């Protein structure tokens, strides 16, 4: 049994809303200067962006088979260790940490687009497919804003990345993604409509990234197409339905961890805002909290699809 998240009526309606919201944001792009776009973009990232990962501990509890009273404390300990490990890795081996961040994020983005599949094919193809889709999305953004990306990467790893490599990764991942898509389109009739929608959305993303600044384009995609759909998925998984009261309960439960994340970012800003390493530290912090979050969401989707199989 194949389960696509967007087959759910709520997610289908949200997709239509998201397209309209993206067009509206593109319209706003012509009215706001770049500085205002950066402020608004980061405001969205700090709100819904951070919020969508602030309930990881509750998700772990809901995916865990253990009912031990000490489970919550153990989970919190392991989660903090994972975050600290990410920060230390960025400090000691930034190249490896940045590479892992991109790999984790790519799979996470592709997975959230609804490509967590259970076709009767090799498991390696099922892993490669959402991963390459996520790489295409990320490097579409990077390719259109390669100069800004190169500056940020240089601040993190002290190494200059060529635009040539960014474009080569985009073309290679695009070729692999389209090749697998053609095979799935030919092999599985039930997947055809979903693929048509996603290819159309890739065109939407390309237009969005091309006409927006780096932060504005990323913020629009990250919030409208990733964070909010993820929040809706999480609410349905935890509470059984995506109602307003369940959304409020979700926010209340996530508030303490969301606030702690904001405090950590604010602390970095006040300590290092006048130094060149602030950008590196900022993205290092985001990456550190991304690593465990990706694993948590992957486990949630596995349990969700197992139940629906």
Question: What global pTM score does this model have?
Answer: 0.83
In a domain, 118, yes or no: yes
pLDDT at 298: 74
CB-based contact 269:278 (threshold 8 Å): yes
Q: Which domain covers residue 126, as residue numbers? A: 5-41+68-308
Residue 280's contacts (CB-CB under 8 Å, 6 or more residues apart) are: 90, 94, 155, 156
In a domain, 133, yes or no: yes
pLDDT at 135: 94
pLDDT for 272 beyond 90: no
In a domain, 146, yes or no: yes
pLDDT for 256 beyond 60: yes
How many domains does the chain fold into?
1
Is the pLDDT higher at 151 or at 79?
151
pLDDT at 223: 92
Average pLDDT over residues 184-204: 86
In a domain, 56, yes or no: no
In a domain, 142, yes or no: yes
In a domain, 53, yes or no: no
In a domain, 59, yes or no: no
**Hey, what long-range contacts does 192-201 have (CB within 8 A, 24 or more apart)?**
194/4, 194/6, 194/7, 194/114, 197/6, 197/15, 198/113, 198/114, 198/115, 198/133, 201/113, 201/225
């Amino acid at each position: 049994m194949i389960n696509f998240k967007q087959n759910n009526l709520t997610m289908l309606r949200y997709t239509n809303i998201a397209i309209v919201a993206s067009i509206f944001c593109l319209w706003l792009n012509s009215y706001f200067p770049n500085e205002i776009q950066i402020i608004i973009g980061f405001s969205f990232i700090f709100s819904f962006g951070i919020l969508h990962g602030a309930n990881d501990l509750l998700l772990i509890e809901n995916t865990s088979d253990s009912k031990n009273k000490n489970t919550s404390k153990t989970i919190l300990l392991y989660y903090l260790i994972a975050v600290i490990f990410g920060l230390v890795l960025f400090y000691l081996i930034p190249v490896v940490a940045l590479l892992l961040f991109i790999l984790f994020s790519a799979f996470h983005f592709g997975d959230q687009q609804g490509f967590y599949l259970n076709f009767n094919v090799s498991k390696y193809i099922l892993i490669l497919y959402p991963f390459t889709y996520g790489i295409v999305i990320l490097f579409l953004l990077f390719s259109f804003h390669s100069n800004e990306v190169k500056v940020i990467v240089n601040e993190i790893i002290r190494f200059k990345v060529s635009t040539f490599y960014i474009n080569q990764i985009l073309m290679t991942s695009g070729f692999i993604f389209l090749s697998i898509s053609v095979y799935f389109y030919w092999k599985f009739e039930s997947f055809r409509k979903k693929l048509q929608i996603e290819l159309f959305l890739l065109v939407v993303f390309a237009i969005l990234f091309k006409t927006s600044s780096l932060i504005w384009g990323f913020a629009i995609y990250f919030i409208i197409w990733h964070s909010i759909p993820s929040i809706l998925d999480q609410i349905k998984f935890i509470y059984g339905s995506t109602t307003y009261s369940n959304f409020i309960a979700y926010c209340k439960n996530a508030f303490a961890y969301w606030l702690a994340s904001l405090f950590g970012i604010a602390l970095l800003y006040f300590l290092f805002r006048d130094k060149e390493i602030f950008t590196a530290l900022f993205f290092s912090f985001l990456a550190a909290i991304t690593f465990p979050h990706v694993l948590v969401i992957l486990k949630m989707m596995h349990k969700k699809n197992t139940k629906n199989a």
